Amino acid sequence: MIGPLEQQLRDAIVRLKPDIISLDPFIKTHALAENDSGDMDFVCDLLATIAIEFGIAVDSPHHVHKGTLTPGDPDSGRGSTGIRDAGRLIYTLGSMSENDALMFGIAADDRWAYVRLDSAKVNIAARSGKPTWFRLIGVPIGNGTPEYPNGDAVQVVEPWAPPDTWEGVSPVSLNAVLDDIDRGLSNGQRYSDAGPAKERAAWSVVARQCPTKTEGQCREIVRTWIKTGLLYVAEYDDPVDRKPRKGLHVDATKRPTV
């Protein structure tokens, strides 16, 4: 059955003439079974009808399923896939991962304050693979009194841009890194991009030549070079362990130009 909220929304739209209505959260807009495709089609059709008749947008934030949230995954939403299928634009909103925090040099205790918005489904424009970042901050509302001098603060978000991995790195520095990697260690071993590598870790060479970069950014530079073929993995005879081992080599034809 169509409940009273539908007519209340129509009356409010006629009175206020908005460009968009936001119903937060989606589950509070209905009393039907969230996992039932027929039920969710019924609810979504009502919202779509309102959008079409009044020429407005309808936004309805939706809870995600339990477990790990994959940024940009349209199936992250809870309940029937009919909810996903009804949307023209779908986005995921999630907290910063440990890997991202490492990449951007964000302390573990501060990671919770950063959230990312990723496109999960776009039917009206080209989909972007780049996330939009926000940071949670506390804003005083100015209600301090002599008895309560600090007053209250509300939590809001502000746009935030992660540091650029390649910003401020000159071709000279990059070629110095490549020289060190291609030369290998003094004991004859070669550097590696493998996670367990310690003394042979290639990211440490980047950090030595580019001291302003975080470990995550240094690792990202090495990964990018491997993807582009500037660095490649080849087998060599390890003079220390006296066995074949894989190490990094430099393709001189793909070096950055100075």
Of 223, 253, 240, the C-alpha closest to 184 is 240
Q: What is the C-alpha to C-alpha distance for residues 61 and 122, in angstroms, rounded to an integer?
A: 16
pLDDT recorded at residue 127: 62
> Could you give the C-alpha distances from 236 to 11, 85, 184, in angstroms and in order?
75, 52, 12
pLDDT recorded at residue 191: 95
pLDDT recorded at residue 125: 65
pLDDT recorded at residue 116: 94
Rg of the chain, C-alpha, whole Å: 26
Q: For the chain, which residues make up each domain, given as ranges?
A: 1-87, 89-162, 171-254
Q: Which CATH number fits domain 171-254: 1.10.3470, 1.10.10, 2.60.40, 1.10.287?
A: 1.10.10
Q: What is the C-alpha to C-alpha distance for residues 160 and 133, in angstroms, rounded to an integer?
A: 5
pTM of the entire predicted model? 0.71
* Residue 84 φ/ψ region, left for φ over 0, alpha for ψ in the -120 to 50 degree band, beta for the rest: alpha
**Residue 20: φ, ψ to 5°:** -150, 145
Of 190, 254, 192, the C-alpha closest to 223 is 192
Residue 225's CB is within 10 A of a number of other CB atoms, namely 24
Q: What is the C-alpha to C-alpha distance for residues 167 and 159, in angstroms, rounded to an integer?
A: 19
Identify residue 197 by its one-letter amino acid code. Answer: A
Q: What is the C-alpha to C-alpha distance for residues 79 and 58, in angstroms, rounded to an integer?
A: 19
- pLDDT tens track of the chain, all 258 residues? 999 999 999 999 999 999 999 999 999 999 999 999 999 999 999 999 999 999 999 999 999 999 888 899 999 999 999 999 999 999 999 999 888 887 788 888 999 999 999 998 887 666 666 899 999 999 999 999 999 998 999 999 999 998 888 888 888 999 999 999 999 999 999 999 987 778 899 999 999 999 999 988 999 999 999 998 999 999 999 999 899 999 999 999 988 876
Of 68, 3, 56, 65, the C-alpha closest to 29 is 3
